[in-house]
């Protein structure tokens, strides 16, 4: 039997951008992933499809597995020769019980490695605009558990030393014991007016901050129904938040935005929206599926030098075309002398990455704009290869035929309605808990309505609708939506631009 290994990996505080490079690489290789409650699902998207995912999350008063069972599970999987990732929120060796797991693995004769994570004790205050140390306000820091081991006869926390000898105190997992913490600090010499901040879901789009003092923070928690998970920061550095807060200053902070693009294409839009502060619900309405029978494309390759033009209308078409071309033993040299068209900058860029410069990119990134450009260039009798999606609009090949050219249309893929829908995300959308819905094509609109049901469109009346162009907007209007935003340039960058303008 081959030898297994366990990687104890810290997933960081929540923001997937804070997950380490080494952690991401090992996660992609894992055969088994044992993960906690506070691990962002975006991080889990890096797990390969065939890997075994095992949830062992712990919430207050409810544990999916006891720690002893988690230890046994890790040894069971590594004993089977598996490459196991134990993915823990924050850092595995800071109140993460990683030390106990490491001991158990070692005592049973197996290997492990520790990949530290960005700890919430420092990252969460930073995202709230609170430096845990500052030359003018704090030169010492203590990180304390807010939830000691159950059944301990006596607390190991040295309250007098903390209250009188440390400038900044950070308590993790302490909201349920907040009164105990504040009372002990005051009783041991900390001033009642010492500033306190509670940061809930720190570094996540749902981040909330509640500030007060040791004297009044307990009452504020009750009044606001503030719930865990949260980090507690005590000290004068809390006062710096008023001038150092930065996450909340992002232009889309607090906005919940739905992205309906196919999952493979959603990242460019979703990542930018997150960067601007939005909470993004990725709700793909399209699944791009290559045609099972691509023999018409391979037939076209055999007579590729007979074509005067090749027109690409999507990045999907580019990817499938060149993948199949290479599989046929051809490369870009076989396209010498052929005019290449791209319908927009994204398709043009994808061609450029393949070593191809587009001869035509229309100023208006729709079929109508491309037709206007082609009318000046195409000559009667020329041959045009049009590799594209099944069911695409007929306007382009019909217009080219009217120019006297011959069109060979080849279907490369289908943009079918998404089969698997996240029930939780659907519930959020139907409950009207979204601020903005983005549509990047007519098919995203049609499929979205098919998923939610035409009768539920009116439930989204409060959400703003943003469309990538007028054709998509017309489809949305025909489906019953009130379109609020139409991108001036029919690109993802143009869509983001008009969204920013709305919320400026």
Asked if 173 is an active-site residue, the reply is yes
- Mean pLDDT over each residue of the chain, to the nearest integer: 92
Closest CA to 240 of 175, 143, 167, 161: 167
For residues 283 and 359, the answer to whether their CB atoms sit within 8 Å is no
- Alpha carbon of 77 to those of 52, 363, 475: distances in Å? 10, 57, 51
**What is the value of pTM for the model shown?**
0.78
Q: Mean per-residue pLDDT for 489-493?
A: 86
Render pLDDT for 159-181 as a digit per residue (tens, 0 to 9).
999 999 999 999 999 999 999 99
Q: Could you tell me where the DSSP H helices lie in 230-358?
A: 241-244, 263-275, 295-302, 315-327, 345-353
Q: What is the pLDDT of residue 344?
A: 82
Asked if 36 is an active-site residue, the reply is yes
Closest CA to 235 of 249, 261, 214: 214
- Domain covering 289-417 assigned CATH 3.30.360.10 in the classification: no
Residue of 58, 88, 190, 255 marked active site: 58
Q: Do domains 256-285+418-503 and 289-417 have the same CATH topology?
A: yes
Contacts of 145 (CB under 8 A, 6+ apart): 95, 157, 171, 172, 173, 174
CATH architecture of 122-245: 2-Layer Sandwich (3.30)
Asked if 255 is an active-site residue, the reply is no
Q: What angle do CA 371, 377, 382 make, to 5 degrees?
A: 95
For residues 205 and 17, the answer to whether their CB atoms sit within 8 Å is no
Q: What is the pLDDT of residue 334?
A: 93
Q: Which of 135-144, 371-380, 420-429 has the highest mean predicted lDDT (pLDDT)?
A: 135-144
Name the one residue in this structure whose structure tokens are 């079918």: 416
Strands 406-417 and 383-389: parallel
For residues 185 and 159, the answer to whether their CB atoms sit within 8 Å is yes
Name the one residue in this structure whose structure tokens are 């502060």: 277
Q: What is the pLDDT of residue 167?
A: 97
The helix (H) or strand (E) run that includes residue 369 is helix 367-374
Q: With left for phi above 0 and alpha for psi between -120 and 50, is residue 355 left, alpha or beta?
A: left
Q: What is the 3-state secondary structure (H, E, C) of 22-61?
A: HHHHHHHHCCEEEECCCCCHHHHCCCCCCCEEEECCEECC
Lowest mean pLDDT: which of 265-269, 384-388, 448-452, 489-493? 265-269
Which one is the CATH code of 5-118: 3.40.1010.10, 3.40.50.10090, 3.40.50.300, 3.50.50.60?
3.40.1010.10
Cα separation, 317 vs 388, whole angstroms = 5
Is residue 60 scored above 80 in pLDDT? Answer: no
Strands 32-35 and 83-88: parallel
Residue of 36, 82, 91, 240 marked active site: 36
Confidence of residue 268 (pLDDT cuts 50, 70, 90): confident
Domain edges within the chain: 5-118, 122-245, 256-285+418-503, 289-417
Strands 383-389 and 309-312: parallel
Cis status of the peptide bond prior to 243, with omega within 30 of 0: no
Name the one residue in this structure whose structure tokens are 């095992």: 54
Lowest mean pLDDT: which of 41-55, 150-164, 246-260? 150-164
Render pLDDT for 71-129 as a digit per residue (tens, 0 to 9).
999 999 999 999 999 999 999 999 989 999 999 999 999 999 999 999 999 999 999 99
Strand ranges of the sheet holding 168-172, from the earlier edge strand across to the other edge: 141-145, 168-172, 230-234, 195-200, 208-213
> Would you identify the CATH topology of the domain 256-285+418-503?
Rossmann fold (3.40.50)
Closest CA to 130 of 37, 30, 242, 230: 242
Q: What is the pLDDT of residue 123?
A: 98
Angle in degrees, 0-180, between the axes of helices 295-302 and 315-327, rounded to the nearest 10 = 70
Q: What is the pLDDT of residue 231?
A: 97
Residue of 173, 240, 325, 464 marked active site: 173
């Amino acid at each position: 039997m081959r030898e297994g290994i366990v990687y104890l990996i810290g997933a960081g505080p929540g923001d997937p951008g804070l997950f380490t490079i080494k952690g991401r690489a090992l996660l992609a290789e894992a055969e088994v992933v044992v993960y906690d409650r506070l691990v962002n699902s975006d991080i889990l998207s890096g797990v390969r499809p065939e890997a075994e995912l095992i949830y062992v999350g712990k919430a207050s008063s409810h544990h999916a597995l006891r720690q002893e069972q988690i230890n046994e599970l890790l040894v069971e999987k590594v004993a089977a020769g598996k490459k196991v990732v134990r993915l823990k929120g924050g850092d595995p060796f800071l109140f993460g019980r990683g030390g106990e797991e490491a001991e158990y693995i070692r005592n049973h004769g197996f290997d492990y490695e520790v990949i530290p994570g960005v700890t919430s004790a420092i990252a969460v205050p930073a995202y709230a605009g609170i430096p845990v140390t500052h030359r003018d306000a704090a030169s010492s820091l203590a990180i304390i558990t807010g939830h000691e081991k159950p059944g301990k006869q006596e607390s190991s926390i040295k309250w007098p030393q903390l209250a009188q000898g440390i400038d900044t105190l950070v308590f993790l997992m302490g909201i349920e014991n907040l009164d105990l913490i504040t009372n002990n600090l005051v009783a041991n010499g900390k001033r009642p007016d010492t500033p306190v901040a509670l940061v809930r879901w720190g570094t996540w789009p749902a981040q909330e901050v509640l500030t007060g003092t040791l004297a009044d923070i307990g009452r504020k928690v009750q009044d606001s129904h503030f719930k865990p998970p949260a980090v507690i920061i005590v000290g004068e550095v809390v006062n710096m938040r008023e001038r150092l807060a930065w996450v909340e200053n992002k232009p889309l902070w607090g906005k919940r935005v739905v992205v309906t693009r196919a999952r493979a294409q959603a990242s460019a839009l979703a990542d930018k929206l997150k960067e601007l502060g939005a909470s993004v619900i990725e709700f793909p309405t399209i699944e791009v599926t290559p045609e099972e029978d691509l023999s018409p494309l391979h037939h076209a390759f055999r007579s590729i030098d007979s074509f005067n033009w090749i027109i690409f209308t999507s990045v999907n078409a580019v990817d499938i075309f060149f993948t199949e071309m290479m599989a046929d033993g051809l490369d870009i040299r076989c396209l010498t002398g052929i005019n290449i068209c791209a319908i927009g900058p994204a398709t043009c860029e994808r061609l450029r990455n393949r070593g191809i410069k587009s001869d035509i990119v229309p100023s208006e990134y729709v079929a109508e704009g491309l037709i206007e450009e082609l009318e000046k260039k195409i000559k009667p009798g020329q041959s045009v290869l049009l590799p594209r999606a099944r069911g695409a609009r007929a306007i382009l090949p019909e217009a080219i035929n009217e120019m006297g050219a011959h069109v060979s249309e080849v279907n490369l893929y289908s943009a079918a309605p998404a089969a698997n829908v996240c029930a939780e995300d659907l519930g959020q959308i139907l409950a009207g808990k979204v601020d903005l819905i983005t549509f990047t094509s007519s098919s995203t609109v049609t499929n979205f309505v098919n998923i939610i049901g035409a009768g539920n469109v009116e439930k989204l009346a409060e959400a703003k609708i943003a469309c990538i162009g007028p054709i998509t907007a017309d489809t949305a209007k025909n489906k019953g939506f009130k379109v609020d935003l139409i991108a001036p340039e029919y690109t993802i960058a143009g869509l983001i631009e008009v969204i920013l303008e709305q919320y400026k």
